[in-house]
Amino acid sequence: MTLLIIISAASIGGLGLFFGIILGIAAKFFKTDMDSRIKDIEEILPGINCGACGFPGCSGYAKALVKQDVDISLCIPGASQVQARIAAIMGKETKDKESLIAKVRCVGDKDTVARTGYYLGVKSCSLAQITVGGDKACAYGCLGYGDCAAVCPFDAIHMGKDKLPHVDEKKCTGCGLCVKACPRNIIEMVNKRDYFFIKCVSKDFGPAVSKVCKKGCIGCGICARVNNNEGIRMENNLPVVDHKEFKGDVTGAQKCPTRVIEFLKEKWEEKKHEKD
């Protein structure tokens, strides 16, 4: 009996040694040397794994930079500082890239837009949209369940008492995750220095808008007319602003009958001062 135990133990030990040797040889044979640049880039990336670059985390982006030669400016949270360090490692030139922030294009708060009912499911804009088409009378308006705030890795979006998302520009990195999370496309990435915004995305005609929202754009076009159509044009009953052509005339915002246009005077004066 003792002899049988000894033989069994020896057999198992021998098999273990054999497979260990085989695995060691295989590991050595199939070993691939990791490019040291991947590790160097990983160390300078923010490490928040937000996915804004389009790759699975910071390590995925680092590997893609080295192995696939992708754009060095895709790390939005890292901004120009990280891009410059990546460029140095990869031996490339940096690219000028405008600084973006998220802008909420809806003013339809809980007191402004009528509701078609009360959604009692999981508090999610996407689920409310998929299951019941949303519970607001305005088919374009913010549903107010905070999907955008939930996905923000920088704590830059908070839901206010008005049931609308509010963006903290100082914290917003322009990653764009909130844009992807919104099922109604009311969040837009804009240049951080822009100062004139249409805070509505409804494409309905005036009477239809007025019926469901007290503050929505009615498509009257007065903003475009008083600005001589320079930088503002009407498309699908909605003003479209071309910030490169816009002359900074505040009259369009002042004349808007529903006050749905936001004119940020401080940003306009900063930009004007730079031009002068």
Q: Please state, for a pLDDT cut of 90, what percent of the chain lies above it.
A: 59
pTM: 0.77
pLDDT (tens digit, 9 = 90+) per residue, 244-265? 888 778 888 999 999 999 999 8
**Are 230 and 246 spatial neighbours (Cβ–Cβ below 8 Å)?**
yes
pLDDT (tens digit, 9 = 90+) per residue, 80-120? 889 999 999 999 888 777 789 999 999 999 889 988 888 88
Measured CA to CA, the distance from residue 241 to residue 265 in angstroms comes to 16
Measured CA to CA, the distance from residue 33 to residue 25 in angstroms comes to 16
Question: Which residues, listed in sequence order, are joined to residue 136 by a DSSP beta bridge?
Answer: 115
pLDDT at position 4 is 54
Give the CA radius of gyration of the chain: 28
Measured CA to CA, the distance from residue 198 to residue 186 in angstroms comes to 11
Q: Which two tokens stand for residue 67?
A: 């192995």
pLDDT (tens digit, 9 = 90+) per residue, 43-58? 999 988 888 888 988 9
Measured CA to CA, the distance from residue 239 to residue 233 in angstroms comes to 6
Task: Give all domains of the chain, ordered by start, each with its CATH number.
Answer: 36-90 (1.10.15.40), 99-192 (3.30.70.20), 193-276 (3.30.70)
Task: Provide the H-helix boundaries in the chain.
Answer: 2-30, 36-44, 57-67, 79-90, 125-132, 147-151, 177-181, 206-212, 222-226, 251-255, 265-275
Burial class (CB in 10 A: 0-12, 13-18, 19+), 50: buried
Q: Which two tokens stand for residue 126?
A: 């996407």
pLDDT (tens digit, 9 = 90+) per residue, 208-234? 999 999 999 999 999 999 887 788 999
Measured CA to CA, the distance from residue 94 to residue 87 in angstroms comes to 6
pLDDT at position 77 is 87
